[in-house]
Amino acid sequence: ILSDTFSTFENTTYDFVIVGGMPSFLACPVQNATNAVHHSNAGAVLANRLTENPRWKVLLIEAGPSHEGILDTKAGLNNRVIKFPRGKLLGGCSSMDGMFYTRGSSSDWDRWANVTEDEGWSWKQMLPYFLKNEYWTAPADGHNDTGEYTSSFHGTTGLTNVSSYNYPQAIDEKILEASKELGGIYAYDEDINDGEVSGIGWSHSTIGGGERSSAATSYLSPDVLKRNNLHILVGHRVTHVVNITSEDGLPSLRTVRFTPEVSIPVGPGPVHKVSASKEVILSAGVVGSTQILLLSGIGNATELASRGIDSLIDLPGVGKNVSEQAIFFSVYALGVPGTVAASTPETEQAWISEWNETRTGPLTSIGVNMIFWFRIPEESPLWDEYTDPASGKNTPHVEVGFDGGSFNPTPRSTIANAIIPLQPESRGSITLASSSPFDSPLIDFAFFDSRLDLLTVIEGIRSVHHFYTTSNAFQVYNLSLVPDFPSLDDDAALEAYVRNTADHAAHPVGTAAMTARDADWGVVGPDLRLKGAVGLRVVDASVMVRTYRLATLKRQVYAIAERAADLIKVAWGFRN
Ligand SMILES: Cc1cc2nc3c(=O)[nH]c(=O)nc-3n(C[C@H](O)[C@H](O)[C@H](O)COP(=O)(O)OP(=O)(O)OC[C@H]3O[C@@H](n4cnc5c(N)ncnc54)[C@H](O)[C@@H]3O)c2cc1C
């Protein structure tokens, strides 16, 4: 049952209350920015998996569809204020997720297993959860995808559709030719998701049959929504977890307080409470879960006191340790006009018609067909000054997405390269502006606090430049960096340019870091239970500990939530 009115559910007793889920039911062209679907992975996965037990009743509370964007200041970006979007749902769809599918390297997961002292988080034990989540599908353009993925690393029975590229770009063939010519760090990688991440390979995306495959379409499909034991309350924001009793001397956090989202812009509305007999699970994301914990008095006691909030559990790690990747674009102009097709309003209309009729065409593409991952060489002087932040030799420092611009909304004759430092060392924070749940929190990702992050971007700029300028394949385009781009020999100008133009990559993690049960830092234990309490788990991207983070995030969150569902089922005596 799905409702936006709490009275529908008021008299039900729930085993589990999940916070954060945002189901959305509209199919959207994947390239239409105003019509894209964003979804909370973790909440939807848990809602699905826990209601597989028909005896458990589950309530999912979702704040969508009206989240406000948040403005924050970034000193490392020359004091620019940049917008950090969250799951804002307008008319059922919001412009959010890029649909890139990446899992990260095996050593990232193994390092996480070490830190948490739980082998269950190792690559070997998490790979089955990736496969459980995945349903590999044929690409929308019907091309033969043999050699673009290694089948043994992909699932064929899971819930979320995944495919290789769905529509070709003019530069694809050139990239493959240049990769063959240059080899080395540019060598072809058959599968970017086999745990050994290096070289240039085809991007994988969460698309099937030309449509976005979301948590809504996969984990909250119409069949799942028919389950009598799953109730979904949309349009309500959880503000606090509440301690009503204690157990074994610890606060028992099995009750949440919430209010209709519509009341938020105009002030407090009616306040409701609901309890879970077994557990409350926070899946409200890095910003949402952090805000709820802090408002509830769970965080640094001194800082909370300064906001007038009584401490419930003094857990200084909440909201700290946040790690976000910067994204920077190096852009090249083509010296040969028209070599890469540009879009016009007319061509765009034709693309929309094609997608509406057959779910094929440019709108089935995520815009980046090939990705390049590389490690800064061992002999780089950078390593004289900095410790390598990567978890192992199969873990890259930089990701580059090649965007040929052949079907972007604005006419272009450029190639843009999205450069992301994958292992940022800088650590920021999410703190409360006030004790009011209606105030947006303060977000500081502390970009480029560690200079290594900035220098890593510059390594990316230079490696891309080498690729284009030394390969024969790209000579036909007569490429040059766009006019305002500084000389690659001028380090100071390059640094300033990166600081002035970089943005966030929308992949923050770490505000409720998972550490070993007895560690004296961190927020949740390896079973995702909040330290110092009973009855509450956090299951979303916030539990990922900084450098144990990988590339794009969604798939990791799906896999984490799949394992969390199993841990919860076992803890409460249910096996499929
Ligand atoms: C613009 C953008 C592009 C991205 N592109 C990619 C990509 O291409 N590939 C990829 O893998 N990842 C991508 N990501 C990242 C990925 O989408 C997220 O990291 C991932 O969805 C995190 O999942 P989550 O469950 O932790 O939280 P979220 O997805 O943030 O979900 C949190 C949910 O909780 C709800 N919520 C929040 N607060 C409350 C509250 N107080 N009460 C009730 N409900 C609440 C929100 O409405 C939301 O539905 C992108 C993210 C963004 C923003």
Q: What confidence tens digit (pLDDT) does each residue in 187-226 have?
A: 999 999 998 889 999 999 989 999 888 877 788 888 999 9
Look at residue 530 and give its three-state secondary structure: strand
514: DSSP letter: B
Is residue 155 scored above 80 in pLDDT?
Answer: yes
- Which CATH superfamily includes the segment(s) 2-571? Glucose Oxidase, domain 3 (3.30.560.10)
Is residue 126 scored above 90 in pLDDT?
Answer: yes
Ligand 1 site residues (CB inside 6 A) read 19-22, 40-42, 61-64, 67, 85-87, 96-100, 237-238, 283-285, 288, 292, 506-507, 540-541, 552-555, 557
The C-alpha atoms of residue 5 and residue 3 are separated, in whole angstroms, by 5
Look at residue 252 and give its three-state secondary structure: strand
Domain spans of the chain?
2-571
Is residue 330 scored above 90 in pLDDT?
Answer: yes
Residue nearest to atom 27 of ligand 1 (CA): 285
> What's residue 211's pLDDT?
87
Which residue do the tokens 């949309």 mark?
A: 234
> What's residue 171's pLDDT?
87
CA distances from 249 to 299, 533, 534 (A): 19, 9, 10
Is residue 68 scored above 50 in pLDDT?
Answer: no
Section 336-350 average pLDDT: 71
Mean pLDDT, all residues of the chain: 87
Section 308-316 average pLDDT: 97
Question: pLDDT (tens digit, 9 = 90+) per residue, 400-422?
Answer: 999 876 554 333 578 899 999 99
> What's residue 34's pLDDT?
29
> What's residue 26's pLDDT?
31
pLDDT, greater one: 306 or 80: 306
The C-alpha atoms of residue 401 and residue 164 are separated, in whole angstroms, by 15
The C-alpha atoms of residue 262 and residue 206 are separated, in whole angstroms, by 32
Most informative mutation of 30, 37, 38, 291 for ligand 1 (most atoms within 8 A of CB) = 38
Least confident of 85-89, 198-202, 224-228, 306-310: 85-89
> What's residue 39's pLDDT?
44
* pLDDT band at 348; cut points 50, 70, 90: confident
238 is in an annotated binding site: yes
Q: What does pTM read for this prediction?
A: 0.91
> What's residue 71's pLDDT?
30
Residue nearest to atom 9 of ligand 1 (CA): 100
Question: Which burial class, exposed, middle or buried, applies to 378 when counting CB atoms under 10 A from its CB (0-12, 13-18, 19+)?
Answer: exposed
* pLDDT band at 31; cut points 50, 70, 90: very low
Residue 67: both structure tokens together: 């989240």
Question: pLDDT (tens digit, 9 = 90+) per residue, 451-487?
Answer: 999 999 999 999 999 999 999 999 988 899 999 999 9
Residue nearest to atom 4 of ligand 1 (CA): 97
The C-alpha atoms of residue 546 and residue 293 are separated, in whole angstroms, by 19
The CA 175 to ligand 1 mean position distance, Å, reads: 32
The C-alpha atoms of residue 81 and residue 74 are separated, in whole angstroms, by 6
Nearest alpha carbon to residue 299 among 70, 515, 512: 512
Task: List, as own/partner pairs, every contact residues 484-492 make where C-beta atoms lie below 8 angstroms and the sequence separation is at least 24, other chains included.
Answer: 485/330, 485/331, 488/461, 488/462, 491/458
